[in-house]
Structure 1
Amino acid sequence: MGVLYDYFRSSDDEAVAELMARIDGGPLVREGGSPVEDAVDGKGIDPPVVLGQVVSFALDVPWDADLTGERLIWPAAAGQDLEYEGPWVVVLSERARDALAQIPDDRLPDLADRWSRIEELSHYSDTQPELMLSRLREFVGLARRARTNGDSIYCWICL
């Protein structure tokens, strides 16, 4: 099945902990239903590598594994247990949020095309540029709403 990723926005780490308690650890995007929060189904898009590459394209900088600046925020014990299989939540840096939020609409098709061709997505069948454009619009929209509301972007992860 692979790793699951749901990206969402929230006001702060405490609100995320409360959300996780309320929904019994997730997920945020449920098949056949509405997302629990303002969320995007990540479908194989991990924060440091796959999302990090589109952030690098947006910033016009070389990709680096630390570019999205994710930091574990829930549960605290997950960082101490090497066998922990999730779920857990990381928060992305403001730099990553703002890089996505500031992508002009007219750049989206080019960035989606570049993103569709990264090696890490080569084994997926649904990464044609037009599909990746739709996905990128979802991420950019989430980032714009997060920035407008003073929220951070979080990623729920589960093996």
Structure 2
Amino acid sequence: MPSFDAVEAKGIDPVVILGQLIALAREIPYGLDVVRTATVYPPPEGAPATVEEWEALPEDSPYKEGPVIEELPADVRDTLAGIPESRLGELAERWGQIEEFAGFPPALRVLAELRDLARRAREEGEMLYCRFCV
């Protein structure tokens, strides 16, 4: 089984929670369009288009069971990679105060790990992906 360079960030979704971090880092207002992901698995071209197609899927279909893998855009990777050490504490504090972050791991640890992962991905010309279950 291949291994992946990853950050354990269970519960941190790309659009709302990560999106708010990206807005804070960019010093822009948050909106649902700050992070626009692209589904890479299960393949969008095979997704059921109607209720009938959905109901005809086998119970173990990845469209019903997951996991779902979303690609983050390059500008999100680059925003994370560009966070300087001097801003980590301030951003982590502000990010950790958002309502949706309650109960998650310490914001500073996750932020530093995401920033470092983004730097490695950018250096290698790779993208970032978010894996989550349905």
TM-score class, shorter-chain normalisation, is: 0.7 to 0.9
> Counterpart in 1 of 2:129?
154
> Counterpart in 2 of 1:135?
110
The count of aligned residue pairs is 121
After the TM superposition, list the runs of 4 or more consecutive aligned residues in structure 1 that deviate by more than 2 angstroms.
77-85
> Counterpart in 2 of 1:92?
72
Q: Which consecutive unaligned segments of at least 5 residues does structure 1 have?
A: 1-21, 24-35
Cα distance in structure 2, aligned partners of 1:114 and 1:48: 17
Give me the identity figure in percent.
Answer: 40
Task: Output the TM-score relative to the length of structure 1.
Answer: 0.70
Aligned 8 A contact 1:78 1:86 in 2: no
> Counterpart in 1 of 2:24?
57
Q: Point out the structure with the larger strand share.
A: 1
Cα distance in structure 1, aligned partners of 2:40 and 2:32: 18
Q: CA RMSD in A?
A: 1.9
Larger Rg: 2
Out of 92-101 and 58-67, give the one that drifted further: 58-67
Return the offset for 1:66: 2.1
2:55 aligned with 1:80: no
> Counterpart in 2 of 1:38?
5
Aligned 8 A contact 1:56 1:63 in 2: yes
> Counterpart in 2 of 1:102?
82
> Counterpart in 1 of 2:51?
none
Q: SS of the counterpart of 2:128?
A: strand
Change (3 A) 1:88 1:113: same
Aligned 8 A contact 1:73 1:89 in 2: yes
Opposite residue 85 of structure 1, the aligned amino acid is: E
Cα distance in structure 2, aligned partners of 1:79 and 1:118: 36
Q: SS of the counterpart of 1:154?
A: strand
Opposite residue 105 of structure 1, the aligned amino acid is: E
